[in-house]
Structure 1
Amino acid sequence: MWWYEPLLIPGLLQSEATARALLSAHRPPLDDEVIENRVTARLERQSLLHRKPPVECSFVLYEAALRCPVGGTSAHHAQLRHLVHLSELRHVSLQVLPFAVGAHPGLNGPTVLLETREHELIALAEGQSVSYLTSDLRDISAARQRHGMIRTLALTPDESARFISRVAEEL
């Protein structure tokens, strides 16, 4: 899995407090039962990060995703510490694309590429209220090019862990 996210911490990396805060901010409002069901489902999907054999996961987060204090200062601090912890997993690569990079191919939105067990590549496109999967080779090629350039411009995983730690300390 190769995932670039410009505005939010991806669901697979969210703490429970972050997931709950994001779902509680949904409009039109969701009822409490729906929020709880979605939080539970999101947390259950995170088992992918602990699957055996491990699934190789690469995440690049734009700095904006790290600066927005979703759930308040305390919850956000815990979320950032959670990211640093997840970045220590050998099969998880976490990089930060800092504001200082300027214009880059990720400003137009998220990019997610998935590889199945059969090695088929799938691109996921998401928006406010729609998402779709595609295996069209032109879409896959474009997503790979975008994601490759984003990773090239991003900080290394070690630099990224230090960057996230500094953002947490600033809170």
Structure 2
Amino acid sequence: MPSRRVITGRSQEPRRRFAEELRLLRTDKGDSLRQLEAVLGWNASTFGKMEGGQSLGGPEIVEALDQHYGTTPMLLTLWELAMADPSQFKEQYRRYMALEAEAVSLWHYASANLHGLLQTPGYAREFLAAGGLDGVELTAQVEARVGRSQLLGAGDAPRFRSILSESVLRTTLRDRGEWRGQLEHLLVMGERRNVTLHVLPFSTGLHALSNTDTVFLRHRDGSTVAWVETGYAGELVQESAEVERLQLRYDLVRDLALSPDESCLFIRRLLEEIPCEPSA
């Protein structure tokens, strides 16, 4: 096979390409970072981090840049590709990410932490920081995780079901406001037609998936694979007999869980337990 002919010489890696285009557009227009700050209202350091690849920014700032440069919707398209790029995740998760993006349904059980598709930026940041990330890498991983959540809002979004152990909902964030926002986010997500949430109360006792986070991913050809994760490692299970055994365990746990309506009430009661911040 002949080698790929280089046409532009620009990066083919989505995150790096996005940063390159931002930098080229600004320099071609003759703008400084301070001029962008004056015109668009965001801090000059924010634009600098985006051009340096340390941050992707949010859709609002990218749309503003598209309008400023007259490139709509090129930058927003590059931003979406960068946010969805599996290469931002650690090697062991890249295969899972590819399968997740292609799935028509995802059935999930959470023993300890919320699935990435349900996490707010505040939850993702504290969770990833607890795992040892900081600085530029932490910011990049938070943005990548938040970008993943857009999968559930797409026009062809997969069906998503998550059974949440009560321990997941009792393990709060240090910032009460961020934790309140996360619980409120769960209620909003549970209202989506393609999302179903269950709570598994402590009163259920021991069950078949007590210490294992599990996701089943079904694809258009009818095949199903499972991703099993502990606190230290993740494993892709593809052998049909093993997947079937795990699915039986999952079905038993789902039978023990609260209904979606009961689960919504459970989360609302948790929200009522969070002290409101005193008014200024």
Q: TM-score when scaled to structure 1?
A: 0.94
The one-letter amino acid paired with 2:109 is: Y
Write the distance in 2 (CA, Å) between the matches of 1:151 and 1:68: 21
Aligned residue number for residue 21 of structure 1: 126
Deviation at 1:43, TM superposition (A): 0.6
- Higher Cα Rg: structure 1 or 2? 2
Write the distance in 1 (CA, Å) between the matches of 2:237 and 2:207: 23
Deviation at 1:113, TM superposition (A): 0.5
Aligned residue number for residue 158 of structure 2: 55
Contact 1:18–1:76 at 8 Å: present in 2 too? yes
Matches within 5 A, 1:6-45: 6-26=111-131, 29-45=132-148
Q: TM-score when scaled to structure 2?
A: 0.58
Write the distance in 2 (CA, Å) between the matches of 1:7 and 1:134: 20
Aligned residue number for residue 61 of structure 2: none
Write the distance in 2 (CA, Å) between the matches of 1:74 and 1:58: 26
Matches within 5 A, 1:35-114: 35-114=138-217
Q: Which runs of 5+ in 1 are unaligned?
A: none
The one-letter amino acid paired with 2:171 is: C
Deviation at 1:122, TM superposition (A): 0.4
Choose which of 220, 226, 247 in structure 2 pairs with 1:144: 247
Write the distance in 1 (CA, Å) between the matches of 2:134 and 2:259: 41
Contact 1:122–1:133 at 8 Å: present in 2 too? yes
Choose which of 147, 160, 170 in structure 1 pairs with 2:263: 160
Q: Which runs of 5+ in 2 are unaligned?
A: 1-105, 275-280
Deviation at 1:72, TM superposition (A): 2.4
> Relative contact order, CA 8 A, sep 6+: which one is greater?
1
Write the distance in 1 (CA, Å) between the matches of 2:251 and 2:217: 14
Q: CA RMSD in A?
A: 1.2
Contact 1:112–1:143 at 8 Å: present in 2 too? no
Deviation at 1:70, TM superposition (A): 2.0
Distance change >3 Å, CA 71–CA 116, structure 1 → 2: farther
Contact 1:18–1:71 at 8 Å: present in 2 too? no
Deviation at 1:24, TM superposition (A): 1.1
Deviation at 1:33, TM superposition (A): 0.8
Aligned residue number for residue 110 of structure 2: 5
Contact 2:160–2:195 at 8 Å: present in 1 too? yes
Write the distance in 2 (CA, Å) between the matches of 1:141 and 1:31: 39
Where is the helix percentage greater, Structure 1 or Structure 2? 2
Choose which of 119, 130, 148 in structure 1 pairs with 2:222: 119
Contact 1:17–1:71 at 8 Å: present in 2 too? no
Write the distance in 1 (CA, Å) between the matches of 2:214 and 2:229: 8
Write the distance in 2 (CA, Å) between the matches of 1:31 and 1:20: 9
Which portions of structure 1, spanning 4 or more consecutive aligned residues, are displaced by more than 4 angstroms? none
Deviation at 1:16, TM superposition (A): 0.5
After superposition, what is the alpha-carbon deviation per residue over 1:110-147, rounded to whole angstroms, capped at 9, x for unaligned?
Answer: 12100122221001011233212121012211210111
Where is the strand percentage greater, Structure 1 or Structure 2? 1
Deviation at 1:12, TM superposition (A): 0.7
